């Protein structure tokens, strides 16, 4: 089984990325042949400066390695170092109906947020389909917001196979529903676009400021509170075991426990969870040649598989 996922180097990674995509993807490296790429081509849709894009790509690589990615079990690489991906994207574009892309929520949401639309942003799902299909991926771990894009990839694969024969593997999404949507500091879905994130490896001072600033209702210290309606408790559920959560639930329902207390408990859980990973990241920062070697070896492996599959695809379409 080939398991594939990718992540954009579009900014500092946050706990929404970690629980929604990173942790599940790393766990699945034990379940099959894992491929994980840094989606630097996709990041071009927002036109970052060249220097910023390169730095963010390296930062993503360091973050994944610090969080437990095993380079001996996962093929880890930059998307742009596998040129066959863009070749396949053009072939798939010629089979993709405009209406299919026009129905994609992600494009409409970004435009509604004031992002200037470009063709890359509109055609994003086709390149994503190419990322998935070129390796014969069976399983694709994604956040809930990316489920529609997997459906688009499946639709394109089926269209291709109907036209040229059973060549492309039709992928399945893998979504952990219990952490599919991680709340941000303002209660909305955690997203860099909303500016409501808590970074995985932010400074201790900044992390504390963000956690203590999480928006809650105005209930007082002695008022009973509903933990299931509180974003602080929702975030604690990502870190804590059931015993800890049961203890916190009892405190929420009793007088004398305020949201400030809950936020302090969340901060302790956060720091405990990421302390060892933070230390590992510091070590990787001192050994950037190792990080680059992991990406280089990963790109060579990914390119070999992509080229093998592209030979069959080129022949099928008449090239």
Catalytic positions, please?
110, 189, 192
Helices (H), 134-230: 147-164, 204-212
Largest CA distance in the chain: 73
List, as own/partner pairs, every contact residues 206-209 make where C-beta atoms lie below 8 angstroms and the sequence separation is at least 24, other chains included. Answer: 207/267, 207/270, 207/271, 208/267
**Rounded to the nearest 5°, which phi and psi values hold at 301?**
-65, -45
Task: Tell me if 16 sits within 8 A of 189, measured CB to CB.
Answer: yes
Q: 229: how many CB neighbours lie within 10 A of its CB?
A: 12
Edge-to-edge strand order for the sheet containing 172-174? Answer: 74-78, 33-38, 2-7, 139-141, 172-174
Task: Say if residue 169 is exposed, middle or buried (CB neighbours under 10 Å; 0-12, 13-18, 19+).
Answer: middle
Task: Say if residue 243 is exposed, middle or buried (CB neighbours under 10 Å; 0-12, 13-18, 19+).
Answer: exposed
Alpha carbon distance 261, 21 (integer Å): 29
Q: Could you tell me which of 13, 9, 10, 14 has the C-alpha nearest to residue 184?
A: 14
Start-to-end CA distance of the chain, whole Å, equals 29
The residues facing 34 across adjacent strands are 3, 74
Vertex 106, ends 63 and 31: CA angle to 5°?
A: 45
């Amino acid at each position: 089984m080939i398991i594939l996922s990718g992540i954009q180097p579009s900014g500092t990674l946050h706990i929404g990325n970690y629980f929604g995509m990173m942790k599940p993807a790393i766990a699945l490296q034990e379940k099959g042949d894992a491929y994980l790429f840094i989606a630097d081509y996709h990041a071009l849709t927002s036109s970052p400066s060249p220097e910023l894009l390169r730095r963010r790509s390296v930062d993503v690589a360091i973050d994944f390695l610090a969080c437990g990615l095993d380079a001996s079990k996962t093929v880890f690489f930059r998307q742009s170092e596998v040129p066959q991906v863009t070749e396949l994207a053009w072939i798939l574009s010629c089979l993709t109906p405009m209406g299919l892309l026009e129905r994609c929520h992600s494009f409409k949401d970004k435009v509604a947020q004031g992002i200037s639309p470009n063709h890359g942003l509109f055609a994003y799902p086709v390149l994503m389909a190419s990322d998935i299909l070129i390796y014969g991926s069976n399983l694709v771990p994604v956040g809930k917001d990316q489920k529609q894009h997997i459906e688009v990839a499946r639709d394109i694969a089926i269209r291709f196979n109907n036209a040229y024969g059973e060549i492309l593997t039709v992928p399945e999404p893998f979504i952990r529903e219990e952490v599919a949507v991680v709340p941000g500091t303002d209660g909305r879905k955690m997203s860099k676009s909303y500016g409501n994130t808590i970074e995985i490896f932010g400074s201790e001072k900044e992390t504390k400021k963000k956690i203590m600033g999480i928006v809650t209702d105005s209930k007082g210290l002695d008022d009973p509170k509903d933990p299931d309606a509180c974003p602080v408790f929702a975030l604690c559920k990502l870190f804590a075991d059931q015993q800890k959560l049961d203890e916190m639930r009892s405190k929420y329902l009793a007088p004398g426990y305020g949201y400030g207390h809950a936020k302090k408990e969340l901060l302790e859980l956060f720091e405990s969870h990421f302390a060892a990973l933070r230390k590992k990241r510091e070590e990787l920062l001192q050994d950037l040649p190792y990080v680059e070697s992991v990406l280089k070896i990963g790109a060579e492996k990914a390119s070999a598989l992509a080229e093998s599959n592209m030979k069959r695809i080129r022949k099928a379409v008449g090239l």
